[in-house]
């Protein structure tokens, strides 16, 4: 199942027509602000390549396997949540495994102001310093290593350590602790 922006509707309908001509099925449902694209369960061997090939080029949320009709509404909601978090420069279909931090952040921010509350302390420092701190934290979260982060950022590992310490002072999150690193990963998504 795929959910994409309404602008993808023509592409989806064209893909459905091409697949129908090949004996495959693809169902397209236009809804306000989005298009939902579904196809029958995978053939033996789990293949739904023709559908995904035809949908290449659409930017949207993808839930590749839906376990029965009863699971369709939940899968559609998940695919829509993924779609809502896509960046303007993103192309292609994105799964929950690829976008889980952004989807989680979106949900928590809407309900609880999660990121604003956690990152409020960063607002007390000048923009250039904030950018450097956040860039350092993201590098550390991506690598899990002071040395690898320093290499990536072209600075000394002690500089990385100092910036992580500054982030901890401003947010209360120590990204060297796995539980807190996960919270920071979501807040910065």
pLDDT at 50 (0 to 100): 77
Measured distance between the N- and C-terminal CA atoms of the chain, rounded to whole angstroms: 24
| 25-78 tens-digit pLDDT | 888 888 898 999 888 876 555 555 777 778 888 889 999 888 888 889 999 999
164 CB-contact burial (10 Å; exposed 0-12 / middle 13-18 / buried 19+): buried
| 130-155 tens-digit pLDDT | 999 999 999 999 999 999 999 999 99
Judged against a pLDDT cut of 60, whether residue 82 lies above it is answered with yes
Instruction: Specify the higher pLDDT residue, 55 or 79.
Output: 79
Rounded to an integer, what distance in angstroms lies between the CA atom of residue 56 and that of residue 86? Answer: 16
């Amino acid at each position: 199942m795929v959910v994409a922006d309404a602008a993808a509707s023509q592409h989806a309908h064209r893909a459905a027509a091409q697949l129908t001509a090949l004996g495959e099925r693809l169902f397209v449902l236009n809804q306000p602000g989005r298009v939902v694209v579904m196809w029958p369960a995978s053939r033996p061997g789990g293949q739904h390549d023709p559908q995904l090939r035809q949908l290449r080029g659409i930017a949207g949320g993808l839930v590749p396997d839906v376990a029965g009709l009863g699971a369709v509404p939940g899968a559609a909601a998940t695919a829509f949540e993924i779609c809502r978090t896509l960046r303007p420069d993103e192309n292609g279909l994105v799964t929950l495994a690829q976008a889980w931090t952004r989807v989680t952040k979106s949900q928590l921010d809407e309900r609880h102001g999660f990121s604003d509350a956690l990152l409020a302390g960063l607002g007390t420092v000048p923009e250039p310093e904030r950018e450097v701190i956040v860039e350092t934290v993201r590098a550390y979260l991506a690598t899990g290593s002071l040395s690898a982060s320093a290499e990536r950022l072209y600075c000394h590992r002690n500089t990385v350590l100092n910036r992580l310490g500054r982030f901890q002072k401003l947010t209360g999150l120590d990204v060297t602790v796995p539980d807190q690193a996960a919270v920071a990963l979501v807040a910065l998504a």
